[in-house]
Amino acid sequence: MKRNQMLIMLPFTLALLLLLSGASAAQKFLTKPIEFVCHAAVGGGSDIMARMMQAVIEKEKLCPQTVAVVNRAGGGGAIAFAYVAGKKGDPHFWLTATTSFLTTPLLGKSKYTYRDFTALANLAYDDFFITVRVDSPYKTMKDLIADARKRPEQIRTGGTYAPGTDALISHLLEREAGVKFNYIPFKSGGEAMVALLGGNLDMFYPNPGEALAQLEAKKVRILAVASEKRLEAAPDFPTLRELGINVAFQQVRSIAAPKDIPQEAIRYYEELFRKLADSKLWKEKYIKENMLTWDYKNSAETYKMWESNNESCTRIMKEMGVIK
Per DSSP, the residues of 136-184 read -S--SHHHHHHHHHHSTTTSEEEEESTTSHHHHHHHHHHHHHT---EEE
pLDDT tens string 245-280? 999 999 999 999 999 999 999 999 999 999 999 999
How far, in Å, are 70, 73, 207, 314 from residue 103 at the CA level?
22, 15, 18, 8
What amino acid occupies position 318?
K
Rounded Cα–Cα distance for residues 291 and 222 (Å):
14
What amino acid occupies position 316?
I
Contacts of 170 (CB under 8 A, 6+ apart): 157, 159, 181, 183, 205
pTM to 2 decimal places? 0.80
pLDDT tens string 140-199? 999 999 999 999 999 999 987 767 788 899 999 999 999 999 999 887 778 899 999 999
